[in-house]
Amino acid sequence: MKALYLDARDRYQKIVSLKEDGLIIAEVRGDADLLKLIAQLVNQTDLNISEINRVEVNTQGGSFTGVRLSLSVARSFVFALGLPEGSVVSG
């Protein structure tokens, strides 16, 4: 199972990771737009977006706006991929 992990709590250091069976297999960090970081990760790993089974979001502490942004992007991915509602995991 592949999961996309999003963490935008810190406006200067966003994290986008690709996990497979719970293990991080690729990660990008930076202060760029969250969608640009996702594009970098996809290009770096030759990932087919349809392989993503769920999206994880870090909601612990940090910037309220960053958490909201991460959740919005996660929900958009879930909708676009046709995944079940419970495919967004926060924690």
Give CA–CA dist 16/39, Å, rounded. Answer: 10
pLDDT digits (tens, 9 = 90+) for 31-81: 989 999 999 999 999 899 999 999 999 999 888 899 999 999 999 999 999
- Residue 14's pLDDT is what? 95
Which pTM does this prediction carry?
0.91
pLDDT digits (tens, 9 = 90+) for 46-59: 899 999 999 999 99
- Residue 61's pLDDT is what? 84
CA dist 49 to 42, 61, 85, Å?
Answer: 8, 28, 17
